Structure 1
Amino acid sequence: MSLQTRLMTAVIGFVSLILVIVAIITSATLGRTLEDQLDEKVSSNAHQLVRVTQAFAPSSATARNILTGPLAPPVGVLFVVSSPVTGYSGAVVESSAGDELTGTLEALTETQMAEVAAALRDSSVATVALTDLGSYRIMALPADNGVLVVTGLPRDDIQSQLTQLLTVIALATIGGLILLALTTAITIRVGLRPLRAVASTATRVANQQLDRGEVSITERVPASEADPRTETGLVGASLNTLLDHVDASLAARQKNEEQMRRFVADASHELRTPLASIRGYSELSLRALRQGGADDAGAIESTTSSLERIQAQSLRMTRLVEDLLLLARLDEGRELIYGTVDLAQLALEGLSDARPTAADHHWGIEVPDEPVTIVGDAGRIHQVIANLLANARTHTPAGTTITLAVTREGEEAVLRVHDDGPGIDPALRDELFARFARGDSSRARQTGGTGLGLAIVKAIVEGHGGDISVASEPGDTTFTVRLPVTPANPSPAAEPED
């Protein structure tokens, strides 16, 4: 059964049980109360009739004589007299009016009086079912003149009232249960509407082709059905949160796949150029040797030149492969060997190495008098400094001033590389640290490169738990590296490979 059916069955069944119990208790309580009231009336009539009977002699003490006297008993009173002289006599008052009896009396048959006598055999008060008369409550009392008086009243009124009560309770119960069923069905249906919205949203999401082309999950549970203040609404809100996370994960996966495809394409392009050169020069050398022979001076010179070019392209390809391998190891959290590093000393060494490579630039350095000591990989941090200086040197014209500064700010060591060159195109800043990123036309690239320098810088800095940022405008470009003095979770040192 559905949840709605189970809830309705449970609620209606439980309420029905309560109503039945209440009806039984109510009818029993009312029946007991009516029985007590009837007993009081029977007792009152019995004592009254005993007083009247005591005025008659035993020879004249019959039911008809007593009931036709000045007494006006109520309709339905049963009266039986047992006289030692006249024997048994009994009657039932059929109707009366005024102070005296004006109706008729119906004499009791022998069978009926025998039924009365049998009911009173063990008790002075009893309930008896009389033939043709129905159920009566009777009481026996002795009179002073030796006459036994039995008085009774019918129980029809009690049974009629109980029947009416049970009928009213049954009708009210049925009507109440019908109303309860309708109300419960509407309430449950409205209450479960957010769950149906969740199921519908989940079905639509399940039917999406998430493995083809661009993926984006736009389906959400409506806000009206995702109120976290209610239990069912909380399910919708949780599903929306889950879909947000899945959508973000799919977007990140797609972005990574696009970056990977672009990375493979860029790497292939970078490798294709030196490989094509190596193939061309090797074919040229082979052709020269075949045409001129091993002793031909021209062939030897051509072959030597080709081999030099092959060596240069091989070195270029080797640097590219090494850079790619370094990035892969850094991505895996390897390749860092931690130790105590004086960042100021590394800055001085890095600037000393960079200055001879660009004598047409102006170089400056700002370091404090005290050492700026951090925990890190000295070789990789030196590579960060060298790459940043090479980037500034390569993408700025002659006469540009490049300044390297090192400071200590709280628990961070800060390294800044500033130049007053033409600046970086704002459109390229978001991809500046991407792999195989190239400088734009505002920075004339004077030497060839793989486009991995800044990507390596970013990977090394983040491997140390730091971050790198850039601020650039014409005449003012600054790369800022922030490194924690002590990394939170130093990565294990990489093991050497064969």
Structure 2
Amino acid sequence: MSIDAGCAPPRRAARRGRPRPAPRTLSQRLACAFLVVAAISVLGADVYSAVTLSYRLQQRTDRQIAENFRCRIEALRAGRGLIPATDGSASVVLDGRGAVRYSTGLASLTDSVSRSSKALRAQAGTGRPEAVADRPLRAMVGQLPDGDYLVTAQSTDSDRAAVRTLVGIESAISLPLIGVLLAGTLWSSRRTLLPIRDMARTARRIADGKAEPSDGILVVPHPLRELQCAADTFNYLLHCIEQGSLRNREAERGLHDLVGAASHELRTPLTTITGYAQLARLGALDDPDRLDVAMEQVQRETLRMAGLVEDLLLLARLSQGGDLERRPVDLTLLCARAVAAARTRECGHTLRCVVEKPVHLVEGDQDRLEQLLGNLLANVLAHTPRDTCAEVRLRRVGDRQVIEVVDDGPGVPEAARERIFEPFFRVETAAPPGTDRTAGRGLGLSVAAAVAKAHGGSLRFEPAERGSRFRLSLPVLAQRERRDSAASATLT
């Protein structure tokens, strides 16, 4: 027998091409599950009631048979003869061969007993009514003193008819009841699952850009614990999405502002350099004195651009978790050097360094921390009058080393305090006498805050009764780290 291999692929293709049935909804699954449970429950209840009724009717019939048997066998033993049957039962006396000697009661029962005489004689001595094989009756058999057998029987047709009637009534009631329960389950499940449909609809509208996350907050009208938990989780997710979107928009706006501010800051020195280059090409700088002035200005603007670019690169590295040189740093020496360097740049301010304890160690990058303090002091020198007093205070508070740069200058306006750490932000107020607002690049405080954050610390502005106070907080170098660093220094 040969097999045509060319026929198999079309069959597989046809099988793959069959449309898949649509997935059933959760309400349909719940309705099907409830239908199965309800059908099993109703069927179980029907079977239980039918079996219980049959058992009760059988017990009643057996009691009647046993009572009739007791009365008749006592009468026969007393010689009073066979008592007539008037309750729909039958009593038959059989001889040893199974022939009917005499009987009373329904003729149909008597005929059934005579046909089953052999089986009935085998039941003698059981002392209880039993079913007769292949006959719709129950009988109790006992042996008389003369060797005959007394059989008392009663038909079970009425009992079976009652059970069949009960089953019919239950079927007539159960099927419509299951239908009503199924319809009610579908309606209830769809109504209960409305919040889930709302979640899907809201998520789709947000994904399509037709709604904002704040527009899709769900409220469960009839709260169930599970649905309320799902709704709360969905609302929290929408809140997180909205907050993330706001942060992204703020970051994007901040990036645009940073690029715009950087472009503006770079445009001024580039314009100056371009202007002097054009003058040189036109021959306007042939005079050596004018050429020296031009070159000095070009060098100043070049250094300004280089410092601006360096600060921007430092901010980028610190924001991305750039590596810092980690080693023990003595803040006492650091503060003293920063104040001394500031004094060499400016002699009109009164600068002091106040240290509560002689040893203040932290782990960090000494150059960056020195740059941080230098930026804070440069901010004081640039934005306060020349007769201003400023202090650098160093102390320990718990497990933190705290450096405060305090001055008694004009302070920072309240409206600008939340933005002073933003790149290129400048306070738009009149410059105090003796200050130069154009000297800075607008990145000093931003770089200082980024350096503090990179060291696990914080830098914040605190208003004072007079002037300004910048508070730098850094984690203290632990004793174990001190011993490890001292040991490594000894080995080195």
TM-score above 0.5: yes
Structure 1 unaligned blocks of 5 or more: 58-65, 95-106, 211-215, 293-297, 491-498
Deviations 1:174-205 (A, max 9, x none): 46545654664565445434433433432332
2:404 is equivalent to residue 392 of structure 1 = no
Say which SS state the counterpart of residue 405 (structure 1) adopts. strand
Cα displacement string for residues 264-288 of structure 1 (whole angstroms, at most 9, x for unaligned residues): 0111111111111111101101111
* Amino acid across the alignment from 1:410: G
Given the alignment of the two structures, is residue 414 of structure 1 paired with residue 402 of structure 2, yes or no?
yes
**Residue 367, structure 1, aligned to residue 355, structure 2:** yes
Contact 2:382 2:439 in 1 (8 A): no
The one-letter code of the counterpart of 1:76 is G
Instruction: Note the C-alpha offset of 1:243.
Output: 1.6
CA distance in 1, matches of 2:222, 2:283: 79
1:170-319 paired onto structure 2 within 5 Å: 170-171=171-172, 173-174=174-175, 177=178, 180-181=181-182, 184-185=185-186, 188-189=189-190, 191-208=192-209, 217-224=213-220, 230-288=225-283, 298-319=286-307
| 1:65-104 superposed matches below 5 A | 72-78=84-90
Q: CA deviation digits over 1:117-170, x for unaligned, max 9?
A: 33223323664888xxxx444566677788876654332321233234334544
In the alignment, the residues of structure 1 paired with residue 55 and residue 418 of structure 2 have an alpha-carbon distance, to the nearest angstrom, of 91
Say which one has the larger Rg.
Answer: 1
2-side partners of 1:255 and 1:48: how far apart?
104
Partners of 1:371 and 1:32 in 2: CA distance: 98
Q: 1:339 & 1:92 partners in 2: Cα distance?
A: 120
8 Å CA contact 1:115–1:128 kept in 2: the answer is: no
Letter in 1 for 2:476: V
Question: How many Å separate the matches in 1 of 2:402 and 2:45?
Answer: 82
Q: Which amino acid in the other structure matches residue 327 of structure 1? A: L
Displacement of 1:76 in angstroms is 3.3
Partner Cα separation in structure 2 for residue 138 and residue 474 of structure 1? 114
2:33 matched residue in structure 1: 10
- Determine the structure 1 residue equivalent to 2:166: 165
Q: TM-score, normalised by structure 2?
A: 0.77
- Gapped runs of 5+ residues in structure 2? 1-23, 124-130, 482-492
SS of corresponding position for 1:397: coil
Deviation at 1:29, TM superposition (A): 4.2
Answering whether residue 415 of structure 2 is matched by residue 427 of structure 1, we say yes
Partner of 2:118 in structure 1? Answer: 121
Matched with 2:17 is none
Taking a change above 3 Å as real, the CA distance of residues 14 and 309 of structure 1, as seen in their structure-2 partners, is same
Contact 2:403/2:471 (<8 A) preserved: yes
SS in 1 for 2:209: coil
Q: Which amino acid aligns with 1:34?
A: L
Structure richer in helix, relative to its length: 2
Q: C-alpha displacement at 1:451, in angstroms? A: 0.4
User: Take 1:407 and 1:50, find their aligned partners in 2: how far apart are those partners?
Assistant: 118
**For residues 351 and 90 of structure 1, do their structure 2 counterparts lie closer, same or farther at Cα, with a shift above 3 Å needed?**
same
Compared CA separation, residues 73 and 118, structure 1 to 2 (3 A):
closer
Q: Does the 8 Å contact 1:288/1:299 carry over to 2?
A: no
State, as a whole percentage, how many aligned pairs show the same letter. 27
Relative distance call for 1:119 and 1:408 in structure 2 (3 A) is same
One-letter identity of the residue aligned with 1:451: G
CA distance in 2, matches of 1:48, 1:370: 121
What is the distance in 2 between the residues matched to 1:438 and 1:417?
19
Letter in 2 for 1:332: Q
Q: Tell me which moved more, 337-346 or 417-426.
A: 337-346
Q: Distance in 2 between matches of 1:145 and 1:469?
A: 122
Bigger mean CA deviation after superposition, 155-164 or 218-227: 218-227
Tell me the distance in 1 between the aligned counterparts of 2:207 and 2:357: 64
C-alpha contact (below 8 Å) 1:221/1:237 kept by paired residues: no
The two structures have a TM-score, normalised by structure 1, of 0.76
1:453 maps to 2:444 = yes
Could you say which residue in structure 1 is the equivalent of 2:127?
none
Where in structure 2 are the equivalents of 1:144-163 lying within 5 Å? 151-163=152-164
Question: Could you tell me how far 1:22 is from its partner in structure 2?
Answer: 4.1
